[in-house]
Chain A
Amino acid sequence: MFAARNWKFLVAVSLLVVGILLMYQLKTWSKTNQNSEGQQNTISTLVQYSFEAEKLQTENQKLKDEMEKYQKGADAELVANQRLIRAKQVAALTPIEGQGIRIVLEDSKRPVNDAENVNTYIIHEQYLQEIVNALWSAGTEGIAINGHRMTTHSDIYCMGSVMNIDGEVEPSPYTIEAIGDIQKLNGAMAGVESFFLRISKESGIGYKRESAQNLNLPAGKFPRYKFAVPSKEGS
């Protein structure tokens, strides 16, 4: 009788110890994870500050350059005109030319059965957006889709089987032209094009990418601002 009770007691104590150990182990793991989460967040904050510092350094350098021009006796009107030309360039308000890449996306020409989903065979706005994002992230200096230069206000919307690009209706095919470093642009596209190659194979969607030595992109549109005014506080 005693032996049986003793045995049960030993098992109970052992299980209790196992339970405590497991709990402790779990706590140790979760603490380690919390530490690494905290560190990753700190890295994220650091990157944000670094970007901010880089931006300010560039801005300050431009102001120093401008000041140097004035101090060397440059005509303020001339400097202002140079600033205006640059402002137009970076706002995509001047036509540009240069090397880059051309991507053509086209709706599938395969006949669609009643049982099939027609959406599988047409180009969607997300496809174009994905490509545009990849190209901007690769440092492209200008993008045009079917001859519409992309600016801050440009957008792409699906309208059934056609697309609304910058306020104008555009049917397939969609030609995206981007000026920039050919190698970097091709590299960025290689990162996203597995999807396009797959739908091209499965649904017959047209996808073509080529490098081009001389692309010409038109100027973008300048909108009329009704609400936003330049801040008196500065940046």
Chain B
Amino acid sequence: MDKNLLFKRMLLFGVAIVLGVLISIQYKTQQKVIEQKQISNDKAAALSNLVSKTKAQVAALEKEQHELLKEVEKYRNQPGATSPEIKQNIDNIGILSGETAVDGPGIHIEIDDTKVIQFVLYDQLTEIVKTLKYAGAEVIEVNGQRIGTNSYIVNSGSNILVNGVPITRINGTHWEVEAIGNQEVLRNYIQIAIEPYMQYNEGLKISVVSQIVHLSSVQQKDLSLAKSIE
């Protein structure tokens, strides 16, 4: 037989086998995808349902808190009941622990890592918080998480947790850091110490806006093992 013809036939045979294998893989994959899609859709629906329920629960609890606060304040503010000094002390100490919601002049920092290859890393986030503290920030919040007495920023697998709450998203995160303090000083520190480094090394764009900020409170756990010795 012609050697060239034999080669061609062998090649054609090879291509036919590859084609057959590929079609069979594709068929199997498709079957699996259909099955998984059904399971995945069920899961997604259940998850989405749970998110809606939890969101509604949060809204209901916020409403309940509003009502409770109104009631409690009536007792607290009875004439001669609580000295304004004690109330002020509790509120001021709460600024330190994080239990008092606060307002004040400050800055709003935004970093969007949804459109870049390199995500914001946990040590970069720690550096931002640290720089703000060094610049004299009195109160700091990261994506709604108030930095209080026992706050921490850690890596957990591919997630960055702030106060134990996962902040990162798989396809990038819109980071929002807010701080109360001297606006000019805070702004300068971020623009000099953080912005060039992050933009140059990581291509991350940071926007810093001076504004009046409102920072929410964070509930601290009561001491249970430690005994106060005062």
By a beta-carbon cutoff of 8 Å, the part of chain A in contact with chain B is: 7, 10-11, 14-15, 17-18, 21-22, 24-25, 28, 31-32, 35-53, 55-60, 63-64, 66-67, 70, 75-77, 79-81, 83-100, 126, 129, 132-134, 136-137, 139-142, 150-153, 155, 157, 179-181, 216-217, 219, 222-223, 225-235
Are A21 and B22 neighbours in the complex by a CB distance under 8 Å? yes
Are A235 and B181 neighbours in the complex by a CB distance under 8 Å? no
User: Chain A interface secondary structure, helix, strand, loop or mixed?
Assistant: helix
Q: Which residues of A contact B167 (CB under 8 A)?
A: 44
Are B138 and A227 neighbours in the complex by a CB distance under 8 Å? yes
By a beta-carbon cutoff of 8 Å, the part of chain B in contact with chain A is: 8, 11-12, 15-16, 18-19, 22-23, 25-26, 29-30, 33, 36-37, 40, 43-44, 47-48, 50-51, 54-55, 57-58, 61-62, 64-66, 68-69, 71-72, 75-76, 78, 81-83, 86-87, 89-106, 123, 126, 130, 133-134, 138-139, 144, 147-154, 159, 161, 163-171, 180-182, 214-230
Closest Cβ neighbor of A54 among chain B residues: B219
Q: In whole angstroms, what is the CA distance A45 to B181 when docked?
A: 30
Given A41-B169, A155-B133, A230-B102, also A77-B68 (CB < 8 A): no
Which one, A45, A56, A80, A89, contacts B86 given CB within 8 A? A80
Q: Which residues of B contact A216 (CB under 8 A)?
A: 229
Q: In whole angstroms, what is the CA distance A64 to B67 when docked?
A: 11
Q: List 29 A-B contacts (CB under 8 A).
A: A14-B19, A21-B19, A21-B22, A22-B22, A32-B33, A42-B44, A44-B166, A47-B165, A48-B165, A49-B58, A76-B82, A80-B86, A84-B89, A85-B228, A87-B99, A88-B93, A89-B222, A98-B227, A100-B225, A133-B152, A136-B152, A137-B164, A141-B225, A141-B226, A152-B149, A153-B96, A227-B181, A227-B182, A230-B103
Q: Which residues of B contact A58 (CB under 8 A)?
A: 219
Which one, B57, B68, B166, B226, contacts A142 given CB within 8 A? B226
Q: In whole angstroms, what is the CA distance A97 to B215 when docked?
A: 32
Are B229 and A97 neighbours in the complex by a CB distance under 8 Å? yes
Are A41 and B99 neighbours in the complex by a CB distance under 8 Å? no
Q: Which residues of B contact A152 (CB under 8 A)?
A: 96-98, 147-149, 151
Which one, B26, B104, B151, B218, contacts A228 given CB within 8 A? B104
Q: In whole angstroms, what is the CA distance A17 to B18 when docked?
A: 11
Q: In whole angstroms, what is the CA distance A233 to B51 when docked?
A: 26
Q: Which residues of B contact A132 (CB under 8 A)?
A: 152
Which one, A10, A36, A56, contacts B58 given CB within 8 A? A56
Kindly provide the distance from the CB of A82 to the nearest chain B CB, expressed in whole angstroms: 10
Q: In whole angstroms, what is the CA distance A21 to B75 when docked?
A: 73
* Extra A-B contacts (15), CB below 8 Å, given A18-B18, A152-B96: A21-B22, A25-B29, A38-B44, A48-B165, A49-B51, A56-B64, A60-B64, A87-B89, A92-B97, A140-B150, A141-B150, A142-B226, A230-B95, A230-B100, A230-B101
Given A32-B36, A51-B165, A227-B106, also A96-B86 (CB < 8 A): no
Are B165 and A53 neighbours in the complex by a CB distance under 8 Å? no
Which one, B11, B96, B97, B226, contacts A179 given CB within 8 A? B226
Q: In whole angstroms, what is the CA distance A39 to B152 when docked?
A: 26
Kindly provide the distance from the CB of B146 to the nearest chain A CB, expressed in whole angstroms: 9
